[in-house]
Amino acid sequence: MAFPYDFGFVPSTRGGDGDPLDVLVLMDEAAFPGCKLTCRVVGLIEGEQGEKKNAERNDRLVAVETGNHSYSHVKRLDDLGKRFEGDIEEFFVNYHRLSAGQYRIIALKGPGAARRCIKRAQRAARRR
């Protein structure tokens, strides 16, 4: 199963799962592993993975690469429409199911919540 968008992480952060924050990057052309992108954060997918009793947070940021054209109008997740939300939820649920895992989207939030999530994850990485 291939990711529908470029997928990476935000350096110097630590999310609820102990890993750097994941980020889906919307852009005109695919990037390559190891490259550094400049992006504008447009939203946050709050999610949990694992069984309900032992679920851990695994939030994902959604960002737009600043030099692209196809997504230049996107300022917040709502700009992508309900179909995007449904497709992304279906992808993550099925992606985790392939490895006998579970994933549940708690909420989709805007850029303000995404920036607050990044700040928390930066503080968590410094305390490490």
108 Cα distance to chain centroid: 10
Q: How far apart are the first and last CA of the chain?
A: 33
- For the question of whether the overall pTM of this predicted structure is more than 0.85, the answer is yes
Kindly report, residue by residue over 62-114, the tens digit of the pLDDT: 999 999 999 999 999 999 999 988 888 888 888 888 887 888 899 999 999 99
Kindly report, residue by residue over 31-67, the tens digit of the pLDDT: 888 899 999 999 999 999 888 788 888 999 999 999 9
CATH number of the domain encompassing residue 44: 3.90.80.10
What pLDDT score was predicted for residue 65? 95
Cα–Cα dist 107/51, whole Å: 18
Give the domain range for residue 40: 6-127
**Does residue 98 form part of some domain?**
yes
Number of separate domains in the chain? 1
Residue 80 DSSP symbol: G
**Does residue 1 form part of some domain?**
no
